[in-house]
Homo-oligomer: A and B are copies of this chain.
Amino acid sequence: MYTLEEIDRIVENCSKLQHVKREPSNLYDPIGYMMDIGGKRIRPKLCLLSYNLLSEDMGNSIIFPAMALEVFHEFTLIHDDIMDRSDTRRGNPTVYKKWNEEVAILSGDVMSILAYKYLSYAPQDILPKVINLFTETAMQVCEGQQYDMDFENLPFITMDDYLSMIGLKTAVLLACSTKMGALIGGAPIRVCDALYKFGYMLGIAFQITDDYLDTFGNEKVFGKKIGGDIMNNKKTWLLVETFRRCGSEQKLQLEKLMQLGEEERDLKIEAVRMFYEELGVKEAAEAEILAWHQKALDALSQADFAPWQTRNLEKFAESIIHREK
């Protein structure tokens, strides 16, 4: 089995995208920029770890499709940053800010196509399945982003709405990552489906963790300002659960708090955090993350691998959930 460090190295090496064209520069420079900004590279790593359950043969026919997931993910971030009017990502100017909107649209477009170029390195006999899985997933990610934008205009949403939305926006791509590794590794359907479920549950846990850290994370470790979601009145797990628990009196108070703006940033963040804590939502989030993590492990056990085989995958899953940034 490959160690996590070896998997990291493979992915980092490939992330340099040295074989991608360079002209016209206004089109391809932003791609290099996005890839260089970095990130946890969760999706390709999950794909390779999943594949490694079945095979030791780490060639382009798995590495490139794994990178397709990362390239696709970065494409969604470039376009999301335009749609959200975000100026920074991972402490750096977003592509739309550093260049302009036209460049961000077009570079994103070419990245979504480049993902298919990488995907096409999958073994020919499995390529149709890989393309179909990826394409279904990619459409679902767009649907998730649309629901996320639609929900911004609603005063509140149910927990079912939230889980469906993050399922589409985030979880399916992690699920696709794990399933793709299994498909390319030649796993039987049952195992591929178990790995899909594992990735999906992990994705839900991951997103709720993201929501949690944005409010309760350690700013120095987290790498970005705490409270962004609160300031944006973003419908996170925390907010949705809070509305679920609120009495009508508390709902009014919360809605009043949500009206506060940038000039009362510290007050708003502190007050909403206290709301969450007083209603037991902080602990509930921690429990929820653990529960989804456990569901992920249960799904993985359905794939019938021995513990020594799944150890690295489980360790990696642990690292992306129980993290501080």
Min C-beta distance of A180 to chain B, whole Å? 15
> A95 CB to closest chain B CB, in angstroms?
13
Most B CB contacts (10 A, CB to CB) among A102, A109, A120 go to: A109
For A57-95 the 0/1 string (1 means CB < 8 A from B) is 000000000000000000000010011000000000000
Contact A128 B124 (CB under 8 A): yes
Is A145 interfacial (CB 8 A cutoff)? yes
The residue on B at minimum CB distance from A134 is B116
What is the size, in residues, of chain A's interface with B at 8 Å between Cβ atoms?
37
A149 / chain B contacts, CB cutoff of 8 Å = 26, 102, 106
Could you say which of B83, B114, B147 contacts A105, with CB atoms under 8 Å apart?
B83
Q: SS class of chain A's interface: helix, strand, loop or mixed? A: helix
**Which residues of chain B are within 8 angstroms of A127 by Cβ–Cβ distance?**
127-128, 131
A227: min CB distance to chain B, Å: 24
Binary per-residue interface labels of chain A (125-146) against chain B in the complex, 1 for a CB within 8 Å, 0 otherwise:
0011001100110110011011
A120-B135, A139-B117 known; A106-B146 Cβ under 8 A: yes
Chain B residue at minimal CB-CB distance from A104: B105
Interface pair B102/A24, CB less than 8 Å apart: no
> Which residues of B are found within 8 Å of A120, using beta-carbon distances?
128, 131-132, 135
